[in-house]
Amino acid sequence: MRREANLAAVKPYADHLDDGLMQMSFTLPVPYSLAARQAALELVAKMGVERAEVVHSQRLADGYTHFVMFGSCRHTVDFSVLQSEGFDLQYMSEEEIEAYAAEYIVRPVVVVGASTGTDTHSVGIDAMLNLKGYHGHHGLEGYRSFAAHNLGSQVSNQALIARAIELDADAILVSQTVTQQDLHIHNLTELVEMVEAEGKRGQIILVCGGPRVSNELAKELGFDAGFSKGTLPHHLATFLVREVVARRQSR
């Protein structure tokens, strides 16, 4: 008979329920050696991992060693509380979004997006905005309820904001893929400050996305929402039409 998971005390799962088994990989700035192996074992023990094993280690360069570890996590999380705190959003389908926008917004929602700063990667912004979209889902260009403007990559924050003001945009969408040394945080923070300096923060919905962007980080930086890996165009579209309606109703 299959055991049911205790949602108040969830642990990682591998061979059987609640075994806590998990795999980790990381690099330490230490020379490849037995001492390096022991350092990795002590580190994961401090993280609450029991019966840890080094299943693979290798020298990356002078003074750097990469590890793949396996062990059992002693900690748990209360998933039942998280379920009740509104983390899981109900997304509308493309057809539902079109119907919702036609009823409550009427005009197209204007969205201006770009990969900003020195970021040359446009795959994320293209997936959200271009007609082709991603994984069988149209980007916002494919919706009657949106007027999407994709400015591409390596666009300065100043140019993006200027275009948004020119088009009287409802929302600005920023994609950030290059994140070394937290460049994305600096760039995103600068954009929010520039929008505020233009006196447009209350009128423009700010959304950011990227591999290391979370909704929590986005809000901490001053954005209205953040989307990370696994986001599909209708997820973004659902948020935008609901946010446009919510702002209209609050005026």
pLDDT digits (tens, 9 = 90+) for 47-86: 999 999 999 999 999 999 999 999 999 999 998 877 665 5
Cα–Cα distance measured from residue 12 to residue 93, given in angstroms and rounded to the nearest whole number = 32
Residues 78 and 106 in one domain: no
Same domain (yes/no): 145, 238: yes
Using pLDDT thresholds of 50, 70 and 90, give the confidence band for residue 186: very high
Question: Can you tell me whether residue 142 is helix, strand or coil?
Answer: helix
Helix runs in 105-182, H state only: 123-129, 157-166
**178: pLDDT strictly greater than 90:** no
With tokens 């494919």, the residue in question is 142
Task: List the CATH number of the domain containing 11.
Answer: 3.30.30.60
Expressed as residue numbers, the domain containing 53 is: 1-88
Domain end point (choices 88, 112, 135): 88
**Residues 158 and 43 reside in one and the same domain:** no
Residue pair 138/106 in contact (Cβ under 8 Å)? The answer is no
Structure tokens at 43: 């580190």
Question: Domain check: are 128 and 201 in the same one?
Answer: yes
**Amino acid 86: pLDDT:** 52
167 & 48 share domain: no
Are both 102 and 36 inside the same structural domain? no
**What mean pLDDT is predicted for residues 174-197?**
91
pLDDT for residue 153 = 94
pLDDT of residue 81: 79
The residues, any chain, with a CB within 8 Å of residue 186's CB and separated by 6 or more, are none
Determine the pLDDT at residue 119: 85
Residues 173 and 155: beta-carbon distance below 8 Å: no
- The residues annotated as belonging to the active site are 132
Average pLDDT over residues 188-208: 96
In terms of domains, do 105 and 130 share one? Answer: yes
The tokens for 39 are 């350092």
Q: Residue range 218-241: average pLDDT?
A: 94
CATH of the domain at 215: 3.40.50.280
Task: State the total domains in the chain.
Answer: 2
Rounded mean pLDDT, 26-33 = 97
Percentage, residues of the chain above pLDDT 70: 96
Domain boundary among 66, 88, 110: 88
- Same domain membership, residue 172 and residue 219: yes
- Tell me, yes or no, whether 115 and 210 share the same domain: yes
Of the two residues 87 and 144, the one the predictor is more confident about is: 144
Same domain, 84 and 130: no
- Residue 21, pLDDT > 90, answer yes
Q: Is the pLDDT of residue 225 over 90?
A: yes
50 and 106 in a single domain? The answer is no
| Mean pLDDT for the chain overall | 92
- R_g (Cα) of the chain, nearest Å: 22
Residue 84's pLDDT is 60
Q: What is the 3-state secondary structure (H, E, C) of 12-39?
A: CCCCCCCCCEEEEEEEECCCCCHHHHHH
pLDDT of residue 2: 67
pLDDT classification of 182: cutoffs 50, 70, 90: confident
Q: Which residue, of 88, 116, 135, is where some domain finishes? A: 88
Q: Are 59 and 32 in contact (CB under 8 A)?
A: yes
Mean pLDDT of 201-220: 93
CA–CA separation, 102 and 233 (whole Å): 18
Q: Give pLDDT tens digits for 118-138.
A: 888 899 999 999 999 888 999
Are 74 and 157 contained in the same domain?
A: no
Residue type, 241: V
Report the pLDDT value the prediction gives residue 88, as an integer from 0 to 100.
Answer: 58
Percentage of the chain modeled with pLDDT above 90: 74
Distance CA 202, CA 214 (A): 22
Query: Helices 94-104 and 233-250, interaxial angle, to 10°?
Result: 20
Eight-state DSSP code of residue 50: E
CB proximity list for 85: less than 8 A, separation 6 or greater: none
